[in-house]
Structure 1
């Protein structure tokens, strides 16, 4: 089986590294994800192609695909006339990624407030800097949420 898509090796390697770091995913899952990015026609990539292209065991590919499906980074479907499953990049991944970023910032704001309320001694200089930081977090949350609403 040949590749069903054309890839650029340099861009592919950069994508593997980038998405592996950003999504904190295992190496083979990162390769599968990066490979799917090159499916510009959205034809889908069958399981067997991953096994062959990456010279990986079916078990390893299956584990990586399950991880990506559970993380909602990819989707799959079966064509009516075939038993094969085809895999695709989840078009909503950008929204999912930034929703997680917003949630982390909100969690950090809550933690900052909880720590400040627990604190016995208050330093005005430290409080002023923390308010600036909280303001930055709030502005970024608002900005990202407005952009997400446009997606």
Structure 2
């Protein structure tokens, strides 16, 4: 089996590093995901091609694919006339990524409110900085949500 996709090695390595860091992926999962972003025509990549292209064990590829499916970075499809599963980068990954960022900001706002209630003592200087930070978080949440609605 030959490699289905044309891949630029430098861009691929940059993508592996970037997505590995941004999504906290293990190396093989990052390679699989990065490889899939070169599937511009959405033909899909089979399990066997991943095994061959990355010279990895079937169990390692399987583990990485399961991880990527669970965190919704990839999707799979079974074609009617074939037993093979084809894997694709999830087109909604940007939306998913930013929804998680918004949720983390909301969680942080909630935690800050709980800490303020627990503290019970006014610290005007600290409160001013916290309020400015909360305002920044709230504005960022609104901005991101408005952009997400466009996706």
TM-score per shorter chain, which class? over 0.9
Cα distance in 2 for partners of 1:137, 1:78 equals: 42
Aligned to 1:52, what secondary structure does the other structure show?
helix
Shift of 1:84: 0.8
TM-score (norm 1): 0.98
TM-score (norm 2): 0.98
Aligned length: 151
Aligned to 2:103, what secondary structure does the other structure show?
helix
Aligned to 2:114, what secondary structure does the other structure show?
helix
In the other structure, the counterpart of 2:61 is 61
Cα distance in 2 for partners of 1:122, 1:11 equals: 52
Q: Are 1:121 and 2:136 an aligned pair? A: no
- Structure 1: which 4+ aligned runs deviate by more than 4 Å? none
Aligned to 1:66, what secondary structure does the other structure show?
helix
In the other structure, the counterpart of 1:145 is 145
Shift of 1:128: 0.5
Cα distance in 2 for partners of 1:120, 1:98 equals: 34
Cα distance in 1 for partners of 2:92, 2:106 equals: 21
Cα distance in 2 for partners of 1:132, 1:37 equals: 39
In the other structure, the counterpart of 2:77 is 77
Unaligned runs of 5+ in 2: none
Cα distance in 1 for partners of 2:75, 2:121 equals: 51
In the other structure, the counterpart of 1:10 is 10
Unaligned runs of 5+ in 1: none
CA RMSD of aligned residues (A): 0.6
In the other structure, the counterpart of 1:21 is 21
Shift of 1:123: 1.2
In the other structure, the counterpart of 1:87 is 87
Aligned to 2:106, what secondary structure does the other structure show?
helix
Shift of 1:125: 0.8
Aligned to 1:80, what secondary structure does the other structure show?
coil
